[in-house]
Structure 1
């Protein structure tokens, strides 16, 4: 199915209603015979999630073949998923509206979300450093999906125009929290620079108090 026919199918569902639209009517709306439609898609909701299936396949391929560092690979591949899902803005908005109004589609979306998490988690387990805590792969995998979804919602609500760029910035900050477990030469013992402001005429106790307050932040 071309991007144009996919958008036409999603538009038809949005206009007529998901429950009220039969697969046969949907096939006719995009210019397919009933048999061709069912051969390409198992059901009408598969049309709505076709881009996700494509994005998942690209994500797996990107992480499998990457030459980037683990952190950079995760940032690049996740941002690429968002670019793919937003390549047709009209279809993205209609898809979001359909899922908002249709409980069955929201359930399917949760399944898709778990599939993304599994792809990320599997890759992170393969590349993480020896001795990494057991929770690192699963928590980072879930966090990547959460950051992606937050960027998508921000774009849908008009809070950002370049969702992929905003997501990339967020992901770099997110993955920086995990570098000690993703990068072999990362210095996990790096020291913080502490700046404490205190009254030069104060007592030693007041100076120690100011330093202690900074350390607790």
Structure 2
């Protein structure tokens, strides 16, 4: 991992306590006063720190998004690897407190309003990725590349997070790094066009100098097609 400048990540203890209270009492039944009491703050301090019940649940995502933007804006890594490592860092942040991550997942599962907010968060990640991709790819890059790869990065991240929450994946950052490198590799023609050219297959054709042009072209085509 390259050295990078990141915004400070706030301690998660207060957010975890608030999320635990929401899980115990239910999202709708829990008041701001309940949450302030759970984290040991006054109501006004709670609102200054977190804003709302939704903001408590998604506070780690706010920090992760800020961290991702700083990283992508400062990194000297090749674009594909920058996307992979930046996304893996997001997953590290979201899984650093397993209790909070699992409580958040359960709350979203049973609370429609939070699932709606999750969609908004997802689009925010996609916008960060797409903006970076438009900055680092050439003008000949098709318009669909940035949104398609951005959506793929989020999808692979979210799938890995769910597998980790279910216990089918133990090393979430390692797993997402491996899988994201495969995904990014599909976009090498635009992320790393020079490297893509170097990896193109070279076909050496041996032919009879007396052969006709059509016969020579047919022989080359047969080699390209594996014939």
Structure 1 stretches of at least 4 aligned residues deviating more than 3 Å after TM superposition: none
Q: Which residue of 1 aligns with 2:75?
A: 66
The Cα offsets for residues 88-124 of structure 1, whole Å up to 9 and x where unpaired, read as 0010000000000000000000000000000000000
Q: Name 1:25's counterpart in structure 2.
A: 34
Deviation at 1:186, TM superposition (A): 2.2
1:32-181 matches, cutoff 5 A: 32-181=41-190
The aligned length equals 197
Which digits, 9 at most, give the CA deviation of each residue in 1:153-203, with x for residues without a partner? 11011111001100000000000000110114123471289xxxxxxxxxx
CA–CA separation in structure 1 for the residues paired with 2:196 and 2:14: 51
* Secondary structure in 1 matching 2:158: helix
Structure 1 residue runs of 5 or longer lacking an equivalent are 194-211
Structure 2 residue runs of 5 or longer lacking an equivalent are 1-9, 204-221
Coordinate RMSD, CA, aligned: 1.8
Distance 2:127 2:81 in 1: 19
Q: CA deviation at 1:8?
A: 0.9
* 2-structure distance, mates of 1:57, 1:85: 13
1 CA distance for matches of 2:186 and 2:48?
A: 45
TM-score using structure 1 length: 0.86
The worse-fitting range, judged by mean Cα deviation, of 109-118 and 23-32 is: 23-32
TM-score, normalised with respect to structure 2:
0.83
Is residue 129–residue 184 contact of structure 1 (8 Å, CA) maintained in 2? no
Alignment counterpart, residue 191 of structure 1, candidates 201, 205, 208: 201
